[in-house]
């Protein structure tokens, strides 16, 4: 067994993945960080007080973790959902009563969405009250505000997908509010969201695409920029 492990660690395949030895010296410890993506994204130096849990409360990490939960549960829900006026509500009922653990999966997705909105909002409050938006971090503050807007939009676009009475009238109220934007922009925004003048098939398809592709991809790109700027600015 030992000979097999020794031969494995000396193989070219092993060295292509682990390009350094055990972190027993300063050099190998540095190489372990430089060659590892998850370690390399951390800043080289951080303030001692920012390492305290009571400084950040882990709100940023919790927000990112909830986003991962939403992506995973959302991908599974997509296997049982069809964005069609004739089938959407029936698929939701099947998830509730027919699909094994379907109700648990849907509730996990829904409560994670509610929790993410709360966590991102509390994270912004923490950043504001600790002054973490000050130079040189003002750009990352703007990125964070945009991420909060995207979080709300992700929650709102998912609201229509069950295609029940609550979803229908909730979207109707929201798009009617959008119509009140002055200078004729409101009508254009409402028409762009609904794909017409009523909450129908076009609106369901557009909200489905926004919720499952456009907004998540944009959020992932901004999250990458957000984490990168945290590192470049010297941590939290």
On whether the CB atoms of residues 193 and 206 are closer than 8 A, the answer is: yes
Amino acid 33: pLDDT: 76
What angle do helix axes 102-129 and 88-97 make, rounded to 10 degrees? Answer: 100
Of the candidates 34, 31, 13, the one whose C-alpha atom is nearest the C-alpha of residue 22 is 31
Domain at 56-232, CATH homologous superfamily:
Cytochrome Bc1 Complex; Chain C (1.20.810.10)
Low-confidence ranges of the chain (pLDDT < 50): none
On whether the CB atoms of residues 125 and 142 are closer than 8 A, the answer is: no
- Reported as a single tens digit per residue, the pLDDT across 25-62 is 888 777 777 777 777 777 666 777 777 888 888 899 99
Of the candidates 142, 107, 110, the one whose C-alpha atom is nearest the C-alpha of residue 127 is 142
Amino acid 50: pLDDT: 73
- pTM for the predicted model, two decimal places: 0.83
SS3 of 20, please? coil
Amino acid 14: pLDDT: 67
DSSP 212: I
Mean pLDDT of the chain: 88
Amino acid 21: pLDDT: 67
Amino acid 203: pLDDT: 94
Amino acid 9: pLDDT: 67
Residue 154 to residue 219: CA distance in whole angstroms: 9
Of the candidates 166, 191, 185, the one whose C-alpha atom is nearest the C-alpha of residue 158 is 166
How far are the Cα atoms of 48, 122, 135, 213 from residue 234, in angstroms, in the given order?
Answer: 12, 22, 12, 32
């Amino acid at each position: 067994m030992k000979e097999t492990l020794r031969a494995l660690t000396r193989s070219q395949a092993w060295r292509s993945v682990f390009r350094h030895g055990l972190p027993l010296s300063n050099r190998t410890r540095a190489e372990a960080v430089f060659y590892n993506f998850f370690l390399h994204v951390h800043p080289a130096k951080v303030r001692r007080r920012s390492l305290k849990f009571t400084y950040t409360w882990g709100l940023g990490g919790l927000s990112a973790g909830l986003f991962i939960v939403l992506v995973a549960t959302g991908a599974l829900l997509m296997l049982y959902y069809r964005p069609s006026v004739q089938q959407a509500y029936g698929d939701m009922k099947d998830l509730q009563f027919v699909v094994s653990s379907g109700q648990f999966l849907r509730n996990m997705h829904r409560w994670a969405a509610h929790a993410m909105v709360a966590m991102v909002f509390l994270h912004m409050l923490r950043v504001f009250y600790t002054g973490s938006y000050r130079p040189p971090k003002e750009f990352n503050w703007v990125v964070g505000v945009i991420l909060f807007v995207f979080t709300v939009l992700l929650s709102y676009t998912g609201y229509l997908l069950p295609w029940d009475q609550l979803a229908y009238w909730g979207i109707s109220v929201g798009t009617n509010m959008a119509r009140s934007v002055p200078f004729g922009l409101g009508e254009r925004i409402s028409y762009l969201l609904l794909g017409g003048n009523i909450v129908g098939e076009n609106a369901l398809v557009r909200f489905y695409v926004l919720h499952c592709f456009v907004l998540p991809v944009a959020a992932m790109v901004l999250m990458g920029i957000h984490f990168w700027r945290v590192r470049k600015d010297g941590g939290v």
